[in-house]
Amino acid sequence: MFTVNAYAAPSATGPLVPTSIERRDVGPHDVLIEIKFAGICHSDIHTVRGDWGPQHYPLAPGHEIAGIVTEVGTAVTKHAVGDRVGVGCMVNSCRECVHCQAGEEQYCLAGNTGTYGAPDRDGTITQGGYSTHVVVTEDFVLRIPAGLELDVAAPLLCAGITTFSPLNHWGAGPGKKVAIVGLGGLGHMAVKIAAAMGAEVTVLSQTLNKHDDGIKLGADHFHATSDPETFTKLAGSFDLIINTVSAAIDINAYLQLLTLNGALVNVGAPAEPLPVQAFSLITGRRSFAGSMIGGIRETQDMLDFCAKHGIGSEIEVIRPEQINDAYERVLASDVRYRFVIDTATL
Ligand code: NAP
Ligand code: ZN
Ligand code: ZN
């Protein structure tokens, strides 16, 4: 074991503070990564504040990690010292179940090992990317393609893959009308990726404040959900709606915006339930679905797709001591569009 600097939450209510955490020694299949940048995902906030259940503290969040390999284990073949790499929301899985075998490790039947706050295979609790270094088994380390800077690549490891995967799975592309609900970290990546896939993209945001940004990101249309007319004007419009909102919204109102056979896919993960009326579904053979991050192979495909299309995240780089302020701004929907921590001064 060795000790590294980190920022961690001491409890569900206290601000994050500078601290040190332990990393395991580099095993034969492990890669040691010097973390350069770590994105702030709304899931970090949900987790440290206990929205999704009790946690082990101190807890260093961070699952949008970009950095450089500084050491590899004796059996490592996929990565070499000096490589530019990323780590997302999971650092291991059982590798044997039907979903792991299919490359959908995020749905591992034994539960994937989350990058932070999860029991690791050795029984310790994982700690995330708000730190200077991390040790990860090579199979869960992604290559960041040349042409993508590490700071704008970091958010792709969660916000990018979480939106790429359902857009891909539900066939976003030419001739498809796709709506993105919520223009935050996930939402802005969804707009960029859906536009690059060739879909006609509409943003549904609380207000028109982010209109110009939305169009610049690649959206064709932008509507305010605070305006009741939006829901009458757009009724029956979309083949696919991706809901990225971190709070509970009226799903039934959004289901009415789907065309026949359309799907509303929830990636937002509020603590509260999202009640659905049967009639919202049966009157248009509509689906209400969910999606969680993406598998390792698909995450690499997403990074390669983003590099090919020149897609990075829109970021505001912050110092570690600004993390708590950044959390407040994320909670106030005041993020344009991802905070990324520069770990140099950790
Ligand atoms: P974020 O940056 O805070 O973006 C959420 C956006 O939702 C806000 O910018 C805002 O957009 C809108 N919003 C917020 N509160 C709202 C409310 N009360 N009513 C209506 N709209 C509201 O968060 P994020 O990092 O993108 O994460 C979004 C959600 O996805 C979180 O719940 C997170 O935990 C979850 N998540 C899930 C997965 C997965 O695998 N499924 C992965 C990562 C994150 P406007 O200002 O445009 O309205
Ligand atoms: Zn995340
Ligand atoms: Zn498995």
CA of 101 to the centre of ligand 3 (A): 7
DSSP state of 231: H
Q: What is the mean pLDDT of residues 292-306?
A: 98
The first and second tokens of residue 78, run together, are 């996929």
Q: CA 91, CA 304: separation in Å to the nearest integer?
A: 20
Q: What is the mean pLDDT of residues 288-310?
A: 98
162-290: CATH superfamily:
NAD(P)-binding Rossmann-like Domain (3.40.50.720)
Q: At what angle do helices 159-169 and 185-197 cross, to 10 degrees?
A: 40
Task: Give the pTM.
Answer: 0.98
Domain boundaries, the chain: 2-158+294-345, 162-290
The residue whose CB lies within 8 Å of the most ligand 1 atoms, and thus the one to mutate among 47, 105, 207, 245, is 245
Residue 253 has pLDDT above 90, yes or no: yes
By percentage, how much of the chain surpasses pLDDT 70?
100
State the fold for domain 2-158+294-345: Quinone Oxidoreductase; Chain A, domain 1 (3.90.180)
The first and second tokens of residue 267, run together, are 């990636």
CA of 206 to the centre of ligand 3 (A): 38
What pLDDT is stored for residue 15 in this prediction? 97
How do residues 2-21 score in pLDDT, each as one tens digit? Answer: 999 999 999 999 999 999 99
**Do residues 85 and 98 lie in contact, with contact meaning Cβ atoms separated by under 8 Å?**
no
How do residues 98-115 score in pLDDT, each as one tens digit? Answer: 999 999 999 999 999 999
Residue 121 has pLDDT above 90, yes or no: no
Dihedral sign from CA coordinates of 22, 142, 166, 310: positive
**Do residues 216 and 16 lie in contact, with contact meaning Cβ atoms separated by under 8 Å?**
no
The per-residue pLDDT of the chain, averaged, comes to 98
